[in-house]
A and B are shown apart, each in its own frame.
Chain A
Amino acid sequence: MFDKALKAFEIPTIDGVREVNQVSFKLGDFNITLNLTTLIMTWITMAILILLAYLGTRRLERFPSRGQSFVELIIDAFDRLIADTMGPVGRRYFSLITTLFFFILISNWLSIIPILKNPTADLNTTLGLGIMVFIIAQGSGVISKGVGGYLKGFFEPLFIAPFAFFINIAGEVGKTLSHSFRLFGNIFGGGLIMLIIFAIPELLQTAWCRLFGEFIGRSLYWGFLWPFCKILATVILNAFFCIFVGSLQAFVFTILAMAYITIARD
């Protein structure tokens, strides 16, 4: 168990893509399998979030300090965004939406640190988040329209009611699936592309050593490939795939969650 937990902190390589670091145990009749890497990384993400929230909100004052005004700026921006997208009822979902955004954001940024991995690069996490948004949207649909109105919504348009029912069900399932697959595919695909590009210099080194001899191949590797391809590529690819795509996907996920809840409500 402990060495498996340590294994979660290994630096990922292209050969280890197929391996899943999992533990399974029996709970009654159910055989439960957990992805240990995702589990540990999710706990780290939550710890970072709680730490940031604590640091941002301790010593609240009427005339805010630098840290407090930064936090207030973020919260205010989110308040306005949610009011624009969801209307006056959006306040009720404020904490959900903001937590969702920051959880996904920190998860997507986590792999900047080489030994950590994204929890969102695992379909279990994103599908869990997608199903959570689905249940909340359907639940608020029931609350705002009543059970009858909610069920009636599935048979619209009414003149092809039996046909429309299946189309609406498929639409709801497809919405949830695309919602979670989008996040998973972007983050996992970005990580995979980075792993493949980072593996290229070693492949070229072996090829050049065979072509031009050991000395020239090695000096070309250390003189040219290592500084330019490895260091520069690490910075640029992490900036694009982690920070840019990560922020964008976190934003898209939250905006779509808001849209789904709004659609389900009216």
Chain B
Amino acid sequence: MEITGAELIKAAALLGAGLCMGIGAIGPAVGEGYAAGRALEGIARQPELAGLLTRTMLLGQAVSETTGIYSLVIALLLIFAV
């Protein structure tokens, strides 16, 4: 069975999508974990600010998640558009 060029491109795109999602998830994971840890420290020090800290933490996490979302979009492009 011969492997044609189109199949090779498809395989490379799927491999690239997997790599893109896997490597791209490292950054947001570390960043969000760091933000959550720091917010926890803040809440432990000042429990009365828990609501504000949680809200700000979620906002910052959602923003730092953007890089992960970029890799998701690239992975989707590689799967569906190639």
Contact = CB atoms under 8 A, between A and B. Distances in A.
A252 B70 contact: no
A46 interface: no
A255 B55 CA distance: 11
Interface stretch (B1-9, B12-20, B36-44, B56-64): B56-64
Nearest to B75: A189
Interface residues of B, number: 12
B80 A18 contact: yes
Main secondary structure of the interface of B (DSSP, over half): helix
A78 interface: no
Given A252-B59, A252-B62, A255-B59, A189 B69 contact: yes
B72 A182 contact: no
Contacts of B72: 185, 189
A189 B76 CA distance: 9
A185 B62 contact: no
Nearest to B58: A248
B62 A249 contact: yes
Contacts of B62: 182, 248-249, 252
A247 to B, nearest CB: 10
29 contacts: A17-B80, A18-B80, A178-B66, A181-B66, A181-B69, A181-B73, A182-B62, A182-B65, A182-B66, A182-B69, A185-B69, A185-B70, A185-B72, A186-B65, A186-B69, A188-B76, A189-B69, A189-B72, A189-B76, A192-B76, A248-B58, A248-B62, A249-B62, A251-B59, A252-B58, A252-B62, A252-B63, A255-B59, A256-B63
Interface of B: 58-59, 62-63, 65-66, 69-70, 72-73, 76, 80
